[in-house]
Structure 1
Amino acid sequence: MTIGSEQRPAAGAAPAAGAVAERPSIKPISPLARVASWPAARALIAVIVLFAISPLIAPGSISATAMSSMLPFAALTAVVAVGQTLVIMQGGLDLSVAGAITLGALIVAKFGGPDQLGLGGAIVLALVVPALFGLISGLVIAFFGLPPLVVTIASNALMVGTVQAVSGGYGGQVVDSLSQFSLSRWLGIPVLAIIATIVVLVVHVLVKAIRVGRRFELVGANPRAARSIGLSPNGYVVGAYTLSALLAATCGVLLAGLLRSPTLTAGDAYLLPSIAAVVLGGTALTGGKGSIVGTALGALFLGQLGQLVQTFTQTTAAQNIIQAVIIAVGIVVQIKLGGNTSRLKAMFTRSKT
Structure 2
Amino acid sequence: MTTAPSSAVPVAAPRPRIPDNVARLSQVLAWPATRAFLALAVLLAISPLVASGSISSTALYSMLPFAAITTLVAVGQTLVIQQGGLDLSVPGAVTLGALIVAKFGNDQSWGLPVAVVVAILGTSLFGLLSGVVVTAFRLPPLVVTIATNALLIGVVQVVSGGFGAQADPRLSDFALGRFLGVPVLVWIAAAVVIAAQVLLKLSRTGRRFELVGESRRAADVLGLLSLGYGVAAYWFSALAAGAAGVMLAGLLRSPTLTAGDSYLLPSIAAVVLGGTALTGGRGSLVGTALGAVFLAQLAQLVQTFTSLTAVQNVVTALIIGVGIVLQLRLGQSPARLIALFRPRRGEPVRT
- TM-score (ref. length: structure 2): 0.87
- Cα deviation for residue 115 of structure 1 reads 2.2
**Offset of 1:331 from its aligned partner?**
6.6
Change (3 A) 1:328 1:307: closer
Match of 1:259 in 2: 252
Q: What's the CA shift string for 1:217-249, capped at 9, x where partnerless? A: 111111111111111221111000000000000
Match of 1:181 in 2: 174
Q: Deviations over 1:68-98 (max 9, x none)?
A: 0110111111110000000000011001011
SS of the residue corresponding to residue 212 of structure 1 reads helix
> How has the CA–CA distance of structure 1 residues 265 and 140 changed in structure 2, closer, same or farther, with 3 Å as cutoff?
same
CA distance in 2, matches of 1:327, 1:156: 26
Q: Does 1:124 align with 2:117?
A: yes
Query: 2:217 & 2:46 partners in 1: Cα distance?
Result: 46
Q: Secondary structure at the match of 1:40?
A: helix
Pick the aligned partner of 2:324 from 327, 330, 348.
330
User: Do the aligned partners of 1:135 and 1:238 also contact (CA within 8 Å) in 2?
Assistant: yes
- Specify the alignment match of 1:236 in structure 2: 229
Instruction: Extract unaligned runs of 5+ from structure 1.
Output: 12-21, 340-353
Letter in 1 for 2:144: V
Q: Are 1:140 and 1:146, in contact at CA under 8 Å, matched by a contact in 2?
A: yes
Calculate percent identity across the aligned residue pairs.
60
Correspondence 1:218-297 to 2 at 5 A: 218-297=211-290
Report if the CA contact (8 A) 2:306-2:312 is conserved: no
May I ask how many residue pairs the two structures share in their alignment? 329
Q: Structure 2 vs 1, CA of residues 25 and 219 (structure 1 numbering), >3 Å: closer, same or farther?
A: farther
Residue 142 of structure 1: which of 128, 135, 140 is its match?
Answer: 135
Q: Distance in 2 between matches of 1:102 and 1:244?
A: 14
Find out whether 1:113 has 2:106 as its counterpart: yes
Alignment of 1:201-212 (within 5 A): 201-212=194-205
Aligned to 2:293: 300
Aligned to 1:74: 67
2:1 is aligned with 1:7: no
Are the aligned partners of 1:272 and 1:323 in contact in 2 as well (CA < 8 Å)?
Answer: no
Tell me which residue corresponds to 2:44. Answer: 51
- The runs of 5 or more residues in structure 2 that have no matched partner are 334-351
Cα gap change, 1:322 to 1:142, in 2 (>3 Å):
farther
Note the C-alpha offset of 1:7. 3.0
- Per-residue CA distance 1:301-327 (angstroms, 9 max, x = gap): 011101111012345544544555535
Match of 2:299, as an amino acid?
Answer: G
Q: Structure 2: which amino acid aligns with 1:74? A: A
The 1:328–1:233 alpha-carbon spacing in structure 2 relative to 1, beyond 3 Å, is farther
- TM-score (normalizing by structure 1): 0.87
Query: Who is 1:194 aligned against?
Result: 187
Q: Which amino acid aligns with 2:286?
A: V
Q: State the alpha-carbon separation in 2 of the partners of residues 331 and 256 from structure 1.
A: 34
The one-letter code matched in structure 2 to 1:54 is: S
CA contact (8 A) 2:83 2:214 kept: yes
The answer on whether the counterparts of 1:207 and 1:214 sit within 8 Å (CA) in structure 2 is yes
SS of aligned partner of 2:32: coil
Deviation by residue 1:134-164 (Cα, 9 ceiling, x = unmatched): 0000000001111000000000000011001
| 2:208 corresponding residue in structure 1 | 215
Matched residues in 2 for 1:154 and 1:335: separation?
A: 33
1:39 deviates by 1.6
- Decide whether aligned partners of structure 1 residues 87 and 47 sit closer, same or farther in structure 2, where only a CA change above 3 A counts: same
CA contact (8 A) 1:279 1:330 kept: yes
Distance 1:94 1:322, change over 3 A: farther
Please provide the CA RMSD for this pair. 2.5
Contact 1:106–1:171, Cα closer than 8 Å, also in 2 = yes
Q: Which amino acid aligns with 2:114?
A: G
8 Å Cα contact 2:298-2:316 kept in structure 1: no
Is the Cα contact below 8 Å between 2:80 and 2:233 reproduced in 1?
A: yes
What is the identity, as a one-letter code, of the residue corresponding to 1:118? G
